[in-house]
């Protein structure tokens, strides 16, 4: 069993690789694991990979036989620049090179350390950053890194909502750290869900699409983060207005949390910032071609969205310009005219997935007048989802 000064030394060494939090836990089931119920209710939307890996997520022995400890690692990603912190367009994690790649470097070093210090082989441990079949937040809470808040996030007293998580499962026996707070009625290994939230419910009330259906339980179908990042098709009409100015990801239920007030930016040893992304204007995106897209978003998580996904999201943001302060840019009516013109051309965009969103945006901006500027595109349209969008608006105006 690794404990005492040996454990403290291991923690220090791992922290020196760039992890802002290093905690240990064992493999007891995580508190109130409602993963199966969550999936049965369809809250995973079309993330079938979650459903397909459910057994592994519930039983870490299926991930690594004879595993007995988990090293939970946290990387603080709170932007160090005010502009990047305050903007409401991009999920803050996307203002860095893809953390799946950069944090992996720290995990590789951690694995190498276990091999050299404790004689482990490469089959005696597994590590993941986000993509593994493991309940990262449940384990992080069990390890005492923080607690799972009503917004579902692992919240830390020192880093607020701004930790990215990584997991290393090992056959080594390491003395577990105590969870943050124990409920006397529950097993001592269980972290209390919503432990330091108290009566607060700001995150639930702030969510514009009512995606937090009960404390700690999120319906991905209604979540802006899911819709703007994971959804590969048409974004449901009833969610679009709530998206407001968010072009990739959503931090609303994180930003509102009072526990962020103690958070400061971290060392960013395992991150590489791309705060310049915040300088892009809405027109820069709406008018973007494939080469510029590739060059601009190289190595960032946004590149996985592909140009068509970004244009789809940008159309929605354009349709929300009047209500959201997020994208008002200098240029007044000239600027708005250019936005409208580019939307007209996006209503004919070669990738059908973009088109219904451009049509939606034009109707939102121009009202019935949109049917005049869209007349030509409407005649040539053969994509069912886009035709449905036209019909929906035509019915709206017929009934007025
Ligand atoms: C699928 C996924 C998503 C989905 C679904 C999110 C969700 N809430 O499940 C979508 C695409 C919507 C998403 C969005 C985001 N994600 Co995400 N996502 C994941 C992923 C891959 C799996 C999460 C999962 O298993 N969900 C299933 C549900 C059932 O599990 P759970 O949320 O842990 O649920 C627990 C609660 O329901 C709890 N519970 C049960 N009853 C009760 C009762 C109460 C009162 C409470 C409080 C809790 C509670 O028990 C469950 C089990 O422990 C993880 C990585 C991983 N492997 O864990 C990253 C991860 C959770 N995501 C992350 C991030 C950063 C985000 C975003 C902030 C990105 C963004 N800016 O847009 C948003 C935040 C949305 C939010 N409020 O959760 C980070 C979170 C870090 C942290 N500090 O918590 C993770 C851990 C990735 C990482 N390695 O850093 N994500
Ligand atoms: S990430 Fe945004 S949409 Fe999703 S639950 Fe939080 S506030 Fe709601
Ligand atoms: S906003 Fe309030 S309820 Fe939501 S996670 Fe933070 S403390 Fe908990």
pLDDT tens per residue, range 252-309: 999 999 999 999 999 999 999 999 999 999 999 999 999 999 999 999 999 999 999 9
Q: Are 260 and 308 in contact (CB under 8 A)?
A: no
On whether both 321 and 337 belong to a single domain, the answer is yes
Q: Ligand 3, atom 8: nearest CA belongs to which residue?
A: 197
Residue 281: both structure tokens together: 């204007």
The count of structural domains within the chain is 2
On whether both 260 and 295 belong to a single domain, the answer is no
pLDDT of 396 reads 86
On whether both 246 and 395 belong to a single domain, the answer is no
CB atoms within 10 A of CB 130: 16
Query: What domain range is 369 assigned to?
Result: 281-400
- What angle separates helix 355-366 from helix 306-319, to the nearest 10 degrees? 10
Residue 288: both structure tokens together: 């973007």
On whether both 252 and 314 belong to a single domain, the answer is no
On whether both 40 and 118 belong to a single domain, the answer is yes
Residue whose token pair is 């397909």: 52
On whether both 333 and 354 belong to a single domain, the answer is yes
On whether both 29 and 53 belong to a single domain, the answer is yes
pLDDT of 204 reads 97
Alpha carbon distance 80, 83 (integer Å): 9
| Boundary of a domain, candidates 253, 279, 305 | 279
Instruction: Summarize pLDDT for 105-151 with one digit per residue, the tens.
Output: 999 999 999 999 999 999 999 999 998 999 999 999 999 999 999 99
pLDDT of 329 reads 65
Residue 149: both structure tokens together: 């808040």
pLDDT of 185 reads 47
Residue 325 has pLDDT above 90, yes or no: no
Given 130, 205, 255, 289, which residue is catalytic?
Answer: 130
Residue 255 Cα to ligand 2 middle (Å): 10
| Boundary of a domain, candidates 255, 279, 303 | 279
On whether both 261 and 290 belong to a single domain, the answer is no
What mean pLDDT do residues 157-177 have? Answer: 97
On whether both 206 and 119 belong to a single domain, the answer is yes
On whether both 129 and 46 belong to a single domain, the answer is yes
The answer to whether the CB of 193 is under 6 A from ligand 1 is yes
Judged by DSSP in three states, 209 sits in coil
pLDDT of 195 reads 81
Specify the DSSP class assigned to residue 163. Answer: E
130 among known catalytic residues? yes
| Boundary of a domain, candidates 279, 301, 335 | 279
Residue whose token pair is 């276990």: 114
Instruction: Summarize pLDDT for 5-34 with one digit per residue, the tens.
Output: 999 999 999 999 999 999 999 988 776 678
Q: Ligand 2, atom 4: nearest CA belongs to which residue?
A: 223
Instruction: Summarize pLDDT for 205-223 with one digit per residue, the tens.
Output: 999 999 999 999 999 999 9
Residue 188 has pLDDT above 50, yes or no: no
Rounded to the nearest integer, the mean pLDDT of the chain is: 92
- When pLDDT is cut at 50, 70 and 90, the band that residue 330 belongs to is low
Alpha carbon distance 166, 161 (integer Å): 15
CA dist list (Å): 220 to 192, 211, 315? 23, 7, 21
Q: Are 308 and 353 in contact (CB under 8 A)?
A: yes
pLDDT of 398 reads 75
- When pLDDT is cut at 50, 70 and 90, the band that residue 189 belongs to is very low
- Test site for ligand 3: of 258, 260, 262, most ligand atoms within 8 A of the Cβ: 258
Beta strands in the chain (DSSP E): 21-26, 69-76, 125-128, 147-148, 154-155, 163-170, 212-214, 217-218
Q: What Rg, from alpha-carbon coordinates, does the chain have?
A: 23
Residue 247 Cα to ligand 2 middle (Å): 13
On whether both 334 and 261 belong to a single domain, the answer is no
Nearest to 210 by CA among 14, 43, 400: 43
Which of 82-91, 106-115, 318-327 is least confident?
318-327
On whether both 245 and 182 belong to a single domain, the answer is yes
How many CA atoms lie within 13 Å of 342's alpha carbon, on the beta-carbon side? 19
Alpha carbon distance 305, 232 (integer Å): 8
> 11-24 burial string, b = 16+ CB within 10 Å, else e?
beebeebbbbbbbb
- Test site for ligand 3: of 146, 200, 256, most ligand atoms within 8 A of the Cβ: 200
- When pLDDT is cut at 50, 70 and 90, the band that residue 333 belongs to is confident
Residue 400 has pLDDT above 70, yes or no: no
What mean pLDDT do residues 185-207 have? Answer: 77
Q: Are 169 and 110 in contact (CB under 8 A)?
A: no
């Amino acid at each position: 069993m690794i404990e005492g000064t040996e454990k403290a030394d291991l923690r220090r060494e791992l922290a020196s690789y760039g992890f802002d939090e290093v905690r240990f836990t064992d493999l007891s089931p995580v508190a109130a694991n409602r993963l199966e119920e969550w999936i049965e209710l369809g809250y995973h939307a079309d993330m079938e990979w979650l459903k397909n890996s459910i057994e592994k997520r519930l039983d870490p022995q299926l991930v690594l036989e004879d595993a007995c400890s988990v090293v939970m690692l946290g990387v603080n990603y709170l932007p160090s620049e005010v502009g990047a912190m305050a903007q409401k367009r991009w999920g803050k994690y996307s203002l860095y090179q893809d953390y799946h790649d950069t944090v992996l470097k720290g995990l590789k070093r951690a694995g190498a350390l276990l091999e050299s210090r404790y004689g482990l082989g490469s089959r005696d441990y597994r590590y993941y950053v986000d993509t593994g079949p493991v309940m990262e937040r449940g384990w992080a809470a069990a390890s005492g890194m923080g607690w799972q808040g009503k917004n579902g996030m692992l919240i830390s007293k020192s880093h607020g909502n701004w930790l990215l998580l990584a997991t290393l499962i090992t056959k080594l026996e390491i003395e577990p750290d105590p969870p943050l707070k124990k409920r006397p009625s529950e097993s001592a290994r269980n972290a209390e869900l919503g432990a330091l939230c108290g009566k607060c419910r700001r995150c639930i009330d702030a969510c514009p699409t009512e995606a937090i259906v009960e404390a700690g339980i999120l319906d991905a179908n209604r979540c802006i983060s899911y819709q703007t990042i994971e959804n590969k098709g048409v974004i449901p009409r009833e969610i679009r207005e709530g998206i407001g100015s968010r072009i990739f990801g959503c931090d609303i239920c994180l930003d509102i949390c009072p526990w962020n007030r103690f958070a400061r930016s971290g060392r960013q040893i395992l991150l590489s910032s791309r705060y310049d992304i915040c300088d892009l204007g809405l027109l820069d995106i709406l008018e973007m071609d494939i080469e510029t897209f590739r060059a601009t978003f190289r190595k960032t998580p946004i590149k996985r969205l592909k140009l068509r996904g970004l244009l789809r999201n940008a159309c929605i943001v354009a349709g929300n310009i009047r209500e959201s302060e997020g994208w008002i840019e200098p240029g007044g009516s000239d600027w708005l005219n250019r936005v409208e013109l580019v939307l007209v051309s996006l209503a004919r965009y070669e990738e059908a997935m973009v088109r219904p969103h451009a049509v939606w945006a034009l109707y939102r901006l121009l009202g019935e007048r949109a049917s005049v500027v869209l007349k030509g595109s409407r005649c040539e349209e053969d994509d069912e989802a886009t035709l449905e969008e036209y019909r929906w608006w035509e019915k709206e105006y017929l009934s007025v």
